[in-house]
Chain A
Amino acid sequence: GAVVSQHPSWVICKSGTSVKIECRSLDFQATTMFWYRQFPKQSLMLMATSNEGSKATYEQGVEKDKFLINHASLTLSTLTVTSAHPEDSSFYICSARGTDNQPQHFGDGTRLSIL
């Protein structure tokens, strides 16, 4: 149980393109979903927290107009990287959690490469 699916797993696109990444909880309802960014050989950096039906809370230094997050249902959150540039290239990972005291379960990540 507690499976989180993330798509796509790998995206290569041109500079200036907007890219949407989906995160779905397959067998549980996710009250809260999280979006992380991971640089090579580093730990995860939390970008934002999203609760179903409300606006996402962004961490300091993360541009909300650049990284649009939508959490329209209890099983789906999306991250849209708008007008992506090479510096946005990274590994993006989502996680989902049921209630506050339950652990976060992670997707398999999306490798984003901007040319």
Chain B
Amino acid sequence: GEDVEQSLFLSVREGDSSVINCTYTDSSSTYLYWYKQEPGAGLQLLTYIFSNMDMKQDQRLTVLLNKKDKHLSLRIADTQTGDSAIYFCAESSTGGGNKLTFGTGTQLKVEL
């Protein structure tokens, strides 16, 4: 089946930028997503990008997509302690019934 990979852990200092990376294998991915999960909660949709786009920016969040390398990244500018959470990358494709395939999740820890 299709695979989505992320690094497990990232630690940054408050005020720095965070970059969370994701690689995927499905060459027919239509949309790619970033979700945030805080402890004991569901997933919050942060942003998503259509596969024919290279970049999307939304306030402190910047998504970069390299379709050739099947690489997706999420940059959080001016990272705050409230950004500490698990971040999931996910992809969907029309051929896959638009179901989401999730990455393993990256635990972001923001230190003072």
Interface contact B98-A100, CB-CB below 8 Å: yes
> Which among A11-19, A65-73, A107-115 touches the partner chain?
A107-115
Interface contact A109-B97, CB-CB below 8 Å: no
Is A76 interfacial (CB 8 A cutoff)? no
Interface contact B102-A105, CB-CB below 8 Å: no
Q: Mark A61-104, 1 if CB is under 8 A from B, else 0.
A: 00000000000000000000000000000000101010011011
Q: Interface residues of A: mostly helix, strand, loop or mixed?
A: strand
Q: Which of B40, B41, B45, B99 contacts A103 (CB under 8 A)? A: B45
Number of inter-chain CB pairs below 8 Å: 48
Interface contact B102-A43, CB-CB below 8 Å: yes
Interface centre among B33, B41, B44, B104 (most CB of A within 10 A): B41
> A108 vs B38: C-alpha distance in the bound complex, in angstroms?
10
Interface contact B40-A43, CB-CB below 8 Å: no
Interface contact A107-B42, CB-CB below 8 Å: yes
Count class of interface residues, chain B: 20 to 34
> A79 vs B48: C-alpha distance in the bound complex, in angstroms?
28
Interface size on A, residues (CB 8 A): 22
Q: What is the chain A residue whose CB lies nearest that of B38?
A: A108
Interface contact B97-A111, CB-CB below 8 Å: no
A and B contact pairs by CB, cutoff 8 A, 24 listed: A34-B100, A42-B104, A43-B103, A44-B43, A44-B88, A46-B100, A93-B43, A95-B43, A100-B94, A100-B98, A101-B98, A103-B31, A103-B33, A103-B45, A103-B48, A104-B45, A104-B100, A106-B42, A106-B44, A106-B45, A107-B42, A108-B42, A109-B42, A111-B40
On A, residues with C-beta under 8 Å from B are 2, 4, 6, 34, 42-44, 46, 49, 93, 95, 97, 100-101, 103-109, 111
On B, residues with C-beta under 8 Å from A are 30-31, 33, 35, 40-45, 48, 88, 94, 97-100, 102-105
